[in-house]
Structure 1
Amino acid sequence: MAKSLLVISRQAPWSGPSAREALDIVLAGGAFDLPIGLLFLDDGVFQLAPHQDAKTVQQKDLSANLQALGLFGIDDVFACSHSLAERGLGVPASAQPLAPDAISQLIDRYNQVITL
């Protein structure tokens, strides 16, 4: 039985390479059929905001990576509902909202957790 992995992305897409690295890890795991999940937490939920202009902040546009998650078999994509509300973001269609008290239960479902 393969070990499962949860990647928690806590950085905004324009704050440095961490957001891109989190997506790269998830996509690589999906390519090898690793049971994998992705949780957007804190400023990481900004990655789910529509209509981002990455060129204005001189960063790579991550929207194509997000759209590719399903193609790599990554269906377990979550976003902290509290983080979304705090930042004035609606619930994205690309992620299942999770209440803060459910996050610890989610983490317990996975063998390994990486936070970026």
Structure 2
Amino acid sequence: MSKSLLLISRQAPWAGPSAREALDIALAGGAFDLPLGLLFLDDGVFQLLPQQQPAALQQKDLTANLQALPLFGVESLYVSNRSLSERGLHGQELALPVECLDDADLSQLIDRYDQVITL
């Protein structure tokens, strides 16, 4: 039986390779039917905004990777309500359907997974 994995993505899409690495791990895990969840926390919530323009920062666009998550079976997507609120964002303006969680729910979410990786 496969162990479940929760990836916590905390970096903005333009802050370095961590955001892309989290998505690559999620896509690879999904391709192998690994029970996997992806939590966007802190500046990681910026990955979920539509119409990003990474070329202006000489960065690669992560939109295609994000859109591919459900195709690879990665459908357990979560975001921190506090992280959204602290950045003036709202769940309904995000590019993907995600489950918005408060702090108590985040703790319970982390406890449900066998392994947790934070990037």
Q: TM-score range with shorter-chain normalisation?
A: over 0.9
Q: Deviations over 1:60-105 (max 9, x none)?
A: 1001111101000111000001101111111034211111111110
Q: Which runs of 5+ in 1 are unaligned?
A: none
CA distance in 1, matches of 2:23, 2:32: 14
Secondary structure of the residue aligned to 2:14 is coil
For the 8 Å contact 1:7–1:114, the answer to whether it is kept is: yes
CA distance in 2, matches of 1:21, 1:28: 10
Q: Which residue of 2 aligns with 1:31?
A: 31
* Corresponding residue to 2:101 among 57, 79, 98: 98
Matching of residues 19-98 of structure 1 within 5 Å: 19-91=19-91, 92=94, 93-98=96-101
- What is the aligned-residue RMSD (CA, Å)? 0.8
CA distance in 1, matches of 2:17, 2:98: 21
Name the TM-score, length of structure 1 as normaliser: 0.97
Output the amino acid matched with 1:59: Q
Counting matched residue pairs gives 116
Percentage identity across paired residues of the two chains:
67
Name the TM-score, length of structure 2 as normaliser: 0.95
CA distance in 2, matches of 1:12, 1:89: 14
Q: Which runs of 4+ in 1 moved over 2 A?
A: none
CA distance in 2, matches of 1:81, 1:31: 29
Secondary structure of the residue aligned to 1:39 is strand
CA distance in 1, matches of 2:66, 2:2: 24
